[in-house]
């Protein structure tokens, strides 16, 4: 099979009508595939089917995989014969717990991955640091506890959601599990975006010598939570291969996984890594 993958990022606006948000996502993917027959993978934003906010989560939560949003993504993946990384939705489990969950669908319409956000977003930034924001997903959601690696054609892809990308150890585990790409549907807030959005993605890419892909909602300055936008593809050299702006934008890009092998061969950091580094640190740390 080819070592190249054609993917689409759908940076979509999110309104208060869940059915309309899903309809727009389905329409966007359908049109993207029609205009780009080579498209193999479509990626949606975090919380693409409903407003991102603690007060909204319970209102648009649904079961996985039987809820209406999941059923639409399953049907669409099968109809178009593509993989879909379904951004994230709010999942309600059988015990009535809520999770921020990314679903992944195969070209046959099968659910091949379900990632419950492991690191829930908690922030309290003072106005002097760039506008100010307070937010705590943990007030409504339960943290996930499982890693999620999916097979997209011949490639292993690690899944995280937004705040997960701040945690280098998660990316490192995925790299050690054989992943050559990490995908983080993300709704970074406007106060963090200018400081850390690109920085974190390039850091994860260069630390682990793989592709890092993020998909954000389009920015809406009138919403209670303002997403940064700037959906992005970063290559294993930590270069920004493609970046969206702030508004509604659909991106199609081809990535070449040969670059992963190229970087790892030319800068073989994993062959040089000391397995006893924690023992070294312990020995050199005074009480």
Point out the residues that are catalytic. Answer: 46, 117, 162
CA–CA gap between residue 261 and residue 236 (Å, rounded): 9
CA–CA gap between residue 166 and residue 122 (Å, rounded): 12
Cβ neighbors of 253 (< 8 A, separation 6 or more) are 6, 7, 8, 9, 233, 241, 242
CA–CA gap between residue 118 and residue 115 (Å, rounded): 8
Cis peptide before 65 (omega within 30 of 0): yes
The CA-based angle 74-76-77, given to 5 degrees, is 65
Ordered DSSP codes for 115-135? EE-SS--EEEE-GGGTS-EEE
The answer to whether 153 and 40 are in contact (CB under 8 A) is: yes
Q: How far is CA 85 from CA 97, 103, 138, 164, 190, in A?
A: 22, 6, 24, 16, 24
Closest of 209, 255, 263 to residue 3, by C-alpha: 255
Tell me how crowded residue 70 is: count the other CB atoms within 10 A of its CB.
22
């Amino acid at each position: 099979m080819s070592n190249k993958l054609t993917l689409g990022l759908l940076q979509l606006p999110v309104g208060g009508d869940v059915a309309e948000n899903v309809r727009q996502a389905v329409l966007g993917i359908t049109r993207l595939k029609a205009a780009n027959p080579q498209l193999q993978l479509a990626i949606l934003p975090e919380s693409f089917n409903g407003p991102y906010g603690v007060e909204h989560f319970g209102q648009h939560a649904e079961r996985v995989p039987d809820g209406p949003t999941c059923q639409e993504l399953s049907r669409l993946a099968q109809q178009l014969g593509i993989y879909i990384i379904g951004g994230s939705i709010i999942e309600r489990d059988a015990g009535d717990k809520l999770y921020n969950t990314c679903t992944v669908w195969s070209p046959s319409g099968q659910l091949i991955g379900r990632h419950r956000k492991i690191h829930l977003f908690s922030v309290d930034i003072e106005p002097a640091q760039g506008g100010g924001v307070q937010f705590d997903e943990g007030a409504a959601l339960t943290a996930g506890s499982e890693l999620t690696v999916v097979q997209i054609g011949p490639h292993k892809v690690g899944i995280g959601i937004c705040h997960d990308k701040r945690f280098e150890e998660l990316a490192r585990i995925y790299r050690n599990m054989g992943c050559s790409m990490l995908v983080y549907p993300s709704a970074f807030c406007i106060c963090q975006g200018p400081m850390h959005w690109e920085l974190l993605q390039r850091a994860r890419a260069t630390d682990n010598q793989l592709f890092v892909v993020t998909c954000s909602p389009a920015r809406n300055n009138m919403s209670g939570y303002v997403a940064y936008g700037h959906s992005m593809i970063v290559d294993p050299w930590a270069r920004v291969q493609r970046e969206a702006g702030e508004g509604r934008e659909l991106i199609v890009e081809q990535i070449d996984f040969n670059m992963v092998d190229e970087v790892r061969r030319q800068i073989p950091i994993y062959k040089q890594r000391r397995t006893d580094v924690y023992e070294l640190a312990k020995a050199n740390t005074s009480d």
